[in-house]
Amino acid sequence: MGDDASAIVVGAGVFGAATALALTRRGWRVTVLERATPGHVGASSGGDSRLLRSSHGGERYYTQLAWDGRSAWRALEADAGREVLVETGIVWFARDERGWEADSAQVCAELGIPVERVDGDRVAELFPSVRIDDLAFGLWEPHAGVLRARVGVQAMVDLAVREGATVRTGVTARAVAGGAVDAGDGPQWADRTIWACGPWLSALFGDRLGLTVTQQDACYFTTSAQWRADRVPAWVDFAGAAYGTGDLDGHGFKCSTDRQGPPFDPDRDDRMPLPAHLDAAREILAHRFPALAGAPLAGTRTCQYTTTADTEFLIAPLDTEEVWVAGGGSGHAFKHGPALGELVADMVDGSRKPDARFALSARTPSGSLRTAGHRG
């Protein structure tokens, strides 16, 4: 693309904000259209916390992307003057000697990403109270951690504006004839339009995107100061489809099921937690952290996953090379942050070919790239 290339980015979640920042830094004239505000309560990127982990089982691609994402978040923090990543480390509760965590350990080691297999006694040292009798081992990822998601998205948008992008909030865009965008004041064109509308993509472009939007509930529990995020690591039980973090910024100890929930409409459905998700969170808490059995619920956040059939992202041209979709985060996109924006920008500006793994084509259902060993 030429020096005066232009882009319209619709949506200021992690996909849109990161892409807008990357294109702005390449000298593009970028306009971001956001129906609410960056990181708002209904957006998938609007949570208080998201895990950043490199372990992805045997998946080298996402392992490397996440590790690059960590460096990119650190650079962004320096540019923005805000702390986004809290490096708590993550413990993976491995129930099988040769399972997903063993594959993660091998891939991370091959890519030079620090991870350490630890025994149950070492896991027990990391928490005030933790059950270890069902573990084959623990996988310790010291440079993993927790991202302040909303802060991260807002930081990317603020930087894009500082570096020349235009952001319009409170405007709902729709696709109109000829690849144009209408945000209520007539059609607008750009060299590239990127629709990064998270769970709203299906309503905009229909079933052909192959996305499923489901209700997910993050649960937070009231605990003592021993369980703060600066004292305990984040944790994942992949086989048990469970994850959580220490109490970050006073939100409470996070403990949630990562099972895929029922269909969710981000515009019409109440953001009330499902009783089944609350029960699952309480069961996980009592099972894994016995001292926290019966801890009072401090709060919940209802959010949505926008999942592809194979949990790979969707980053592809839509009918013409001028119009793109970027989304299908499948419950694991946030961590890649600014690195994801560079990836999308590479494809949009033509410096990298569209990657078949992200294509708008039939997907073969496969194992989860999320923190859950099963989909249901």
Ligand X SMILES: Cc1cc2nc3c(=O)[nH]c(=O)nc-3n(C[C@H](O)[C@H](O)[C@H](O)COP(=O)(O)OP(=O)(O)OC[C@H]3O[C@@H](n4cnc5c(N)ncnc54)[C@H](O)[C@@H]3O)c2cc1C
Residues binding ligand X (CB under 6 A): 10-16, 33-36, 40, 43-45, 47, 50-51, 172-173, 196-200, 216, 218, 303-305, 327, 329, 331-335
Write the burial class of residue 96 (CB in 10 Å: 0-12 exposed, 13-18 middle, 19+ buried). Answer: middle
To the nearest whole angstrom, how small is the minimum distance from the Cβ of residue 118 to ligand X?
A: 22
Smallest distance, Å, CB 213 to ligand X? 10
By residue count, the chain amounts to 376
Smaller CB distance to ligand X: residue 172 or 226? Answer: 172
Smallest distance from the beta carbon of 121 to ligand X, in angstroms? 27
Which residue, 172 or 222, is less far from ligand X as judged by CB?
Answer: 172
R_g of the chain computed on alpha carbons = 20
Which is nearer to ligand X, 129 or 314 (by Cβ)?
Answer: 314
The nearer residue to ligand X, 129 or 308, going by C-beta atoms, is 308
Q: How far apart are CA 238 and CA 336, in angstroms?
A: 19
How many CB atoms are closer than 10 A to CB 83? 11
**CA dihedral for 285, 14, 344, 314, sign (positive or negative):** positive
How far apart, in whole angstroms, are the C-alpha atoms of residue 210 and residue 360?
8
Residue 67 near residue 142, CB atoms below 8 Å: no
Task: Compute the least distance from the CB of residue 305 to ligand X, in Å.
Answer: 5
Cα–Cα distance between 65 and 17 in angstroms, integer? 17
Angle between helix axes 149-162 and 337-348 (nearest 10 degrees) is 50
Given the complex with ligand X, which of 7 and 333 has the nearer CB atom? 333
- Please say which residue, 85 or 135, places its beta carbon nearer to ligand X: 85
Q: How far is the CB of 336 from ligand X (least distance, A)?
A: 7
Closest approach of ligand X to the CB of residue 193, in Å: 11
